[in-house]
Amino acid sequence: MKLVNNTRTKAFAIIIGLMALMSSVAPAFAARNVSLPTTESQAGLNTFVDSVVNGNADQVVGIYVADKFAMPMVQQLEGDHAFISSMPNTLTQFGLPSDYGVLGVLAHNTEAGASFYDLETGDEVVAVYGDGQLVRYEIDTSEVWEAFNPHDPYNGTFENVETSETLSLRDLFFDTYTTADTLVFQTCYAQGDNTEWGRLFITATLVD
C-alpha cells in the first residue's frame, strides 16, 4: 500500500509541476537563482567551461551549442517543480526527468528560451558538469504541441501540430521525459500575440 501511495503522490507531483511549468511565462522567483556568470552566445567551449565550473561533479552547470548559445544552468529547489529562472541568458534544469535518466532544460520563451528556436536537427549540445566533465548530445527531433486548457491539471490537453495526436498533460510528460540518455529543451511556443499558445520540445540523444 505504501508503494502505491508513493506512486500516486509522485504522479500527482508530475502533473502539478508540469502544469505550472507549461503555464508560466512571466518572470518569477529571481532571488532564488544561483549566481553564475553569463557568456556571449558564440564564446569558445573552453572559455565557457572555465566560466561555469564549480567543482560539483553531480551538477549540470551549463549548456553549450556551438554558434548558437552558451548559457549557465541553475537547478530547481527540491519539490519546486514550477520554478524557472528569470535571469537573462540562464537555463533551468527540470528536476523530475532526472528520475528517468533525462536532462530537462527549461527557459521562458521571453527570456533564454527564445534561443531554442535557433536549434536544428544535427546540432551538437554539450552539457557541462561542475567538475568540467562534458556530455555530448545530438538534436534529432523537434515537436510543437498546441495547448488546450493548460491551467487545468486534470483536463488540460495538448495536440501535436504535425500529427494531430492529442495527449493529456500527464501523458505528454511521460511521452517526452522518460527516454533515458536524452536531453529535452522545453519552452512555450508563441502564436501571434499569444506567448502561451503551445509548447516546443526539442530532443537530443546522447552521443556515444
Q: Is residue 65 part of a domain?
A: no
Domain that residue 152 falls in: 2-30+73-121+136-206
Does the pLDDT of residue 11 top 70, yes or no?
A: no
pLDDT tens profile 78-94: 878 889 999 999 999 99
Q: What is the pLDDT of residue 28?
A: 32
Q: What are phi and psi of 94, to 5 degrees?
A: -75, 115
Q: Is residue 198 part of a domain?
A: yes
Q: Is residue 77 part of a domain?
A: yes
- Give the model's confidence band at 29: pLDDT under 50 very low, under 70 low, under 90 confident, else very high: very low
Q: Is residue 106 part of a domain?
A: yes
pLDDT tens profile 145-180: 999 875 665 667 999 999 999 999 899 999 999 999
DSSP SS3 for 105:
strand
The total number of structural domains that make up the chain: 1
Q: Which residue has the cell 528536476?
A: 95
Q: What is the pLDDT of residue 41?
A: 43
Does the pLDDT of residue 8 top 90, yes or no?
A: no
Mean pLDDT, rounded, for 30-54: 63
> How many angstroms separate the CA atoms of 90 and 1, rounded?
41
Mean pLDDT, rounded, for 118-122: 97
> How many angstroms separate the CA atoms of 33 and 36, rounded?
9
Q: Is residue 96 part of a domain?
A: yes
- Give the model's confidence band at 61: pLDDT under 50 very low, under 70 low, under 90 confident, else very high: very high
Does the pLDDT of residue 13 top 90, yes or no?
A: no
Name the pairing type of β-strands 182-191 and 124-129: unpaired
> How many angstroms separate the CA atoms of 138 and 183, rounded?
9
Residue 198: name the closest of 95, 167, 178, 88 by CA: 167
Question: Hey, what's the cell of 18?
Answer: 508540469
Mean pLDDT, rounded, for 56-60: 97
Q: Is residue 109 part of a domain?
A: yes
Q: Is residue 128 part of a domain?
A: no
Mean pLDDT, rounded, for 111-135: 97
Burial class (CB in 10 A: 0-12, 13-18, 19+), 54: middle
Q: Is residue 39 part of a domain?
A: no
